Amino acid sequence: MTPSYRIVLLPGDGIGPEVVEEARLTLETVAARFGFDLQFETHLLGGCAIEAYGTSLPESTLAACRRADAVLLGAVGGPRWDNPQAPDRPERGLLALRKGLSLFANLRPVRLFPELLGASTLKEEVLQGVDLLVVRELTGGIYFGPRQEAGEDGHEAYDTMVYTRPEIERVVRVAAQAARERRRKLTSVDKANVLASSRLWRRVTTEVVTREFPDIELEHVLVDAMAMHLIRRPASFDVIVAENLFGDILTDEAAMLAGSMGMLPSASLGEGTLGLYEPIHGSAPDIAGKGIANPLATILSAAMLLRHSLGQEAAAQAIETAVAQALAAGYRTPDLAGVHGPDDRVEVVGTQAMGAVVRQFLSA
């Protein structure tokens, strides 16, 4: 019998719908080639859901995600919903979705396509050999701790960074397991010289790795130093594990190793096989509606979906190969055209054309 999977699409706001459409078409192409069925359902999340339902995460969206085999998200947010007094925000819906599905481990691989070395603002010799994976804790820390909005007087507001031992243990296990399947090196990021939650993080990480992963080499790096090492010696890292906020910040920085925000995919995983797949970038209001957004981060997120939720490894690799071929053939969206502008071996294309080129290589 032909395997069949249910995929929920959450295009979201800004460039979200533009890049998700290219990923959906790519998934259809790969499904036809590898002989499985995909049933797509589209739901609202973020700003578009606030407009339609008055809430950033409608019950119906969460319920559909719970029934699905996997969820593919574009991005949420935009200036239209940035009013600090608003009772709901697009970003709240995304956080509630991650929490509601208990997706505590966010995998953000940073892979360098050799053709894009020149697209980065960093020197080629620094970038040689970069191949790292950031595992970001996704349902704890300062994003979810006790908080207080500023009152009418605008005098004080706070957020609290809280971690418990089980929250740290489970994400460290995911990271250490990934390291075991890669180069067996784990870098844990914290701010243990200042924060109590980081001292617990460091202690639990050391215990888990020493007890359960004695074959993994573990180093602890303070987050401020990490921000520096990430652009000084990026090739020296294998797997990096970090709490929620530190992981968020470091992965936007890491995107510049790969040349653009438009290149980094992610997978958010929990205990089961259900996963949420999304590019790490946002809704890019500055280029939304122009047809120039880079769809590759979302297309590569679809590859991660095939790998982690559907167990379709060959199909995942086929997408990754097709992306590499599209880049090798010289196709670039404007964000990849290079800091000094495109050279004549490069053809600058829009969102849809880039998607079409990837699908052409996929069917070739």
Kindly tell me which residue out of 248, 278, 320, 335 binds Mn ion, with binding defined by CB under 5 A. 248
CA 2 – CA 341 distance, rounded (Å)? 47
Number of residues this chain uses to bind Mn ion (CB under 5 A)? 1
What does 286 interact with, of ligand IPM, Mn ion, ligand NAD, none (CB < 5 to 8 A by kind)? ligand NAD
284 binds ligand NAD (CB under 6 A): yes
Q: What stretches of the chain adopt beta strand conformation (E)?
A: 4-12, 37-42, 70-75, 105-111, 131-137, 147-148, 158-159, 185-190, 217-222, 239-242, 267-269, 275-277, 331-332, 347-348
Q: Angle at which helices 296-308 and 313-328 pack, to 10 degrees?
A: 160
What is the nearest approach in angstroms of ligand NAD to the Cβ of residue 217? 32
Select which of 191, 238, 277, 335 is catalytic: 191
What is the nearest approach in angstroms of Mn ion to the Cβ of residue 341? 28
What is the nearest approach in angstroms of ligand NAD to the Cβ of residue 234? 19
Kindly tell me which residue out of 282, 318, 332, 346 binds ligand NAD, with binding defined by CB under 6 A. 282
* Count of C-beta atoms within a 10 Å radius of residue 202: 19
DSSP-derived letter for residue 81 is G
Residue 215 CA: distances (Å) to CA of 135, 185, 238: 19, 9, 14
Select which of 215, 224, 290, 343 is catalytic: 224
Told to judge if 248 belongs to the known catalytic residues of this protein, a careful annotator would answer: yes
What does 95 interact with, of ligand IPM, Mn ion, ligand NAD, none (CB < 5 to 8 A by kind)? ligand IPM
Told to judge if 191 belongs to the known catalytic residues of this protein, a careful annotator would answer: yes
Is the four-CA dihedral 197, 198, 201, 202 of positive or negative sign?
A: negative
Told to judge if 190 belongs to the known catalytic residues of this protein, a careful annotator would answer: no
What is the nearest approach in angstroms of ligand IPM to the Cβ of residue 91? 4
Told to judge if 53 belongs to the known catalytic residues of this protein, a careful annotator would answer: no
Is the Cβ of residue 137 or residue 238 nearer to ligand IPM in the bound state?
137
Select which of 88, 131, 159, 252 is catalytic: 252
Q: What stretches of 63-166 adopt beta strand conformation (E)?
A: 70-75, 105-111, 131-137, 147-148, 158-159
Is the four-CA dihedral 186, 188, 189, 194 of positive or negative sign?
A: negative
287 binds ligand NAD (CB under 6 A): yes
Annotated catalytic sites, by residue?
Answer: 143, 191, 224, 248, 252
Give the interface with ligand NAD as residue ranges (CB under 6 A): 15, 19, 75-78, 91, 94, 261-262, 278, 281-287, 293-294, 297, 335
Give the interface with Mn ion as residue ranges (CB under 5 A): 248
